Chains A and B, each alone.
Chain A
Amino acid sequence: MFFTYLRRELRRRRKAALVVASGLALGIALVIVVNSVSSGMKVAQGKVLESLYGLGTDLTVTKARDQLQEGARPQRPRFAFEGQEEGEEKQSSDRLMVQGFETLADSTVATVAKQQGVDRAVGGLSLVNLKIDGEFTRGRIQRGEQQPGQPGQPAQPGEATGGGPGGPGDTVTGGGAAFDVNSFTLYGTDVTAPDLGPLTTSTVSTGRTFETTETDAKVVVLDSAYARQEGLTVGGKLTVKGVSFEIIGIVTADSGQSAAQVYLPLKQAQTLSASTGKITTIYVKATDSTKIEAVKTAIQKNVTGTTVTTSADLAQTVSGSLDTAANLASTMGKWLSYAVLLAAVLVAGLLTSSAVGRRVREFGTLKALGWTSGRVTRQVVGEALVNGVVGGALGIAAGLAGAYAVTAVSPNLTAELGASVGGFGGRGGGGMVFGGAAVGPGGARTAVGKTIDIALTAPVGLATVGLAVLLALGGGLVAGGFGAWRASRLRPADALRRVE
């Protein structure tokens, strides 16, 4: 009888049931969309961080920066065209600098690896190659304020502005000069550890990556964007500081943002930049990704003179529309969707309760016939639960449709990294040490914002659907509770009530 009665009620009062169900559906759909969008945001943030760290890297270790003395000037590159007389000369200079000028001894890698909670650690050396060709009348570059610039921009004669990346504010004073500045970034990678470090987020598109035996081979792997820009192909040659390297492969960064333009074996990088036994960054994988903070503390305590940066630290330097949207989704959106759901549940409850009110005589009659309060209540709750299930199904369908629509449209969000930290000579510019590509001659000391475009997706997890099902059932039960409360208070004598 329970099911017959239930079926009949729902079929013959379809419209009322649909009103209740669609209210719940709206709330549930919103919860699904907001939840999936915010997990899409997390995926996007994860991609941004991955593009900097490489897969599997939980933290990085760099040299702690010394506090600058009052009035002291940070180290800067100088281009000394030695042995050249004053006067117009065609000159060329090729400088290979360590990014950020700060290095660690590569023995630190082993020390870090020994720390508790560290699974593996691998070192790398980030370099910038700056090549200047031009005619000078005894020119000298005056470093200006930091600004990211376009590489390879021809400078104006006379007071030349622009030039190297990271230095459009740079000025050349002291006579006429016409020159080209070309720079590219290099990363000396530990070829024996191919599964850790920045190269892990790039996929080989042509050729191959390093063999683990090529520790000191004169081979390079190029980032596809750089290769395209320079017209370089696999099998060709790349000359760095007069040394010729064979191009063995071209890789594409998964996030569209590469850590460096040229990758070469660590030893070669050290030799070329005259920094034997030095590295800039140690990439660390923790044994347990939930204990990263403890590992950070251990390294900072036991390996002096280092700065340890976790992805959580780095995430704080991320700004831009991705960050704004993520914050919005996780705060406003969640509140809004739960508020709508709560309202829907309340409305469903009131509608259920008023439906019981309209059926006072019906339920009174059943009680007069000997139906227990429990049986009548169960009937009411059963109806509300079915409404909840129908609402849940509709809501899940609408929510999935909404999430797929977001994924189909894939609105672009930008993430700006490190833009808010690391002013000129400032401390705490950890973000930029990994900043890579766009870091100019000013090195890590300049606050270079790195912008990454990420397409937003809205993946719907099973957990979200599970949550929706629970919410639907819960909503149905709460709504049923309202009705049940009212139904249980009906007296059998209400069967004799005259007015409907």
Chain B
Amino acid sequence: MYELIGVTKQYRRGRTRVDALAGVDLAIGQGDRLVIQGPTGGGKSTLLQMLGGLDRPTSGSVLLDGTDLAKLSERRLTAVRGQNIGFVFQSFNLIPTLTALENVETALVPLGVKTADRRDRAAEALDSVGLVERLGHLPSELSGGQQQRVAIARALVKRPKVLLADEPTGNLDESMRDEIVDLLEGLCEEHGLTFVMVTHDSAVARRAPRLATIRKGRITVKENRPVG
């Protein structure tokens, strides 16, 4: 599915240069589940941006099914994001003025899905995250956990190949975390998605079949034998 070869990313801020990624090689297979951990500022989010085509590496290649995202035009990259990649963010990133249903619909807009069809699919996606009776609610009228469920529905409604989640439970309280992680893992398994998640939750990390750790832009991957 993914093959990263010598990926570096440098950010320049004035005179100082930050090496967010300092040569990352990584392979992720179809349907794999990868959990990424690491200290703050290590480059986790940066790596996720490379995987999701949100940004281009300074050097190296990011191959997604053989296509190098680093070499795609902005237009093609946008299309790849629209079709193949689902994102779940730490702070949900719902459009505050749109209802839950409309928020989910926004993911289908780039695919040119017809209005009625779009609505049905969005409602279906919200049903799959257990929010069918909240379609008309605004984000501000939903709890954090519910907002993240809407965001998950939005990420999955277009049936992407990959789901990328950057600390999806970071803004949620304890009781909600397991629920959301379980939901994500369950849905990915159900749809056979490749799933990459950044988390600080060590319990979640311990459960992961593959665990990557990023420190100062360098990655180490460990195959986990899940305990119990």
On A, residues with C-beta under 8 Å from B are 1, 4-5, 8-9, 11-13, 361-362, 365-373, 375, 491-493, 495-496, 498
Contact = CB atoms under 8 A, between A and B. Distances in A.
B110 A370 contact: yes
Given A371-B109, A372-B110, A492 B54 contact: yes
Nearest to B105: A1
Given A362-B96, A372-B110, A491 B78 contact: no
Contact of A369 (B49, B87, B102, B115): B87
B107 A369 contact: yes
Contact of B54 (A9, A375, A495): A495
Given A1-B106, A1-B109, A369-B81, 8 more contacts: A5-B102, A365-B87, A365-B93, A369-B110, A370-B83, A491-B54, A492-B78, A495-B89
A372 B75 contact: yes
Interface residues of B, number: 34
Interface in B43-67: 45, 48-49, 52-55
Nearest to A5: B98
Contacts of B78: 367, 370-373, 492
B97 A13 contact: yes
Contacts of B48: 496
A370 B81 contact: yes
A493 B20 CA distance: 14
Contact of A12 (B45, B53, B97): B97
A138 B181 CA distance: 126
Nearest to A369: B107
B52 A9 contact: no
Contacts of A372: 75, 78, 110
A358 to B, nearest CB: 11
Given A362-B95, A367-B78, A370-B79, A493 B109 contact: no
B154 A493 contact: no
Nearest to A1: B109
Contacts of B89: 365, 495-496
Among A5, A11, A373, A493, residue most surrounded by chain B Cβ atoms (within 10 Å): A493
Given A368-B54, A369-B106, A491-B54, A8 B97 contact: yes
Most buried by B among A11, A372, A498: A372
Contacts of B97: 5, 8-9, 11-13
Contacts, number: 88
A368 B107 CA distance: 9
A493 B81 contact: no
A374 to B, nearest CB: 10
B82 interface: yes
B128 interface: no
B10 interface: no
Contacts of B166: 496
B91 interface: yes
A369 B96 contact: no
B163 to A, nearest CB: 13
Nearest to A6: B97
Contacts of A366: 95, 106
A252 to B, nearest CB: 65
A491 B53 CA distance: 11
Contact of A496 (B45, B79, B106, B109): B45
B86 to A, nearest CB: 9
13 contacts: A5-B98, A362-B96, A369-B106, A369-B110, A370-B111, A371-B78, A371-B106, A371-B109, A372-B110, A373-B78, A495-B93, A496-B166, A498-B91
A493 B55 contact: yes
A365 B155 CA distance: 11
B35 to A, nearest CB: 18
A373 B73 CA distance: 13
A356 to B, nearest CB: 14
Interface string B98-122: 1000100111011100010010000
A386 to B, nearest CB: 14
B89 to A, nearest CB: 7
A362 B55 contact: no
B99 to A, nearest CB: 8
A261 B28 CA distance: 106
Contacts of B53: 492
A372 B106 CA distance: 12
A361 B87 CA distance: 13
A12 B97 CA distance: 6
Nearest to B49: A493
Contacts of B49: 493, 496
A234 to B, nearest CB: 76
A365 B103 CA distance: 11
A5 B78 CA distance: 20
A367 B97 CA distance: 17
Contacts of A367: 78, 81
B29 to A, nearest CB: 24
Closest 9 CB pairs of A and B: A370-B82, A370-B110, A365-B93, A8-B97, A12-B97, A493-B54, A492-B54, A493-B55, A370-B81
A365 B95 contact: yes
